[in-house]
Amino acid sequence: KLLNDKDSDTRVLSTSYLGTLARLEKYTFISLAKTIFQNEDTRMIQRLIESGIRHYLSMNPDDDDSLIPIAWVSCNSESKSKLSGMLIELAKINQQSFVKISSNIFDLSPDSHDELFNRINFRNKKLGSLIKNNQ
């Protein structure tokens, strides 16, 4: 209910608590996160990336619900910087999941995938080559 409040600060604050749901109630978290991404509230999306997506990825590195591609396409440049860092960390421990998520981003939006490639390649040429060669 608070996620739909008229007050922007209340919505952003309530988004902060979704990180807990990522650990405890995966499907509730995914449903609420997708709603936030669809509503395109930049501040809420940024808070969700900061507070919930890291927990979600640690518990669901395969991203079987394809939340990360939706997040990538929906978020602003600052959030993409954080999310690309999380994906690089994921690649260090689970390269297969990293490639799968990258492919899913490509399937959703080739233009967004180009941006992902550029960000990843800037930080880590080896991982950049991996996702570029996989397309």
Per residue in 42-85, pLDDT (tens digit) is 888 898 898 889 889 998 999 999 999 999 999 999 999 999 99
pTM above 0.85, yes or no: yes
Per residue in 8-22, pLDDT (tens digit) is 777 777 777 887 888
* pLDDT score for 102: 97
What is the C-alpha separation between 3 and 33, in angstroms, rounded?
A: 10
Statement: residue 97 has pLDDT above 90: yes
**pLDDT above 70: percentage of residues in the chain:** 94
Helix, strand or coil, per DSSP, at residue 130: helix
| Helix (H), strand (E), coil (C) string for 15-68 | HHCHHHHHHHCHHHHHHHHHHHHHHCCHHHHHHHHHHHHHHHHHHCCCCCCCHH
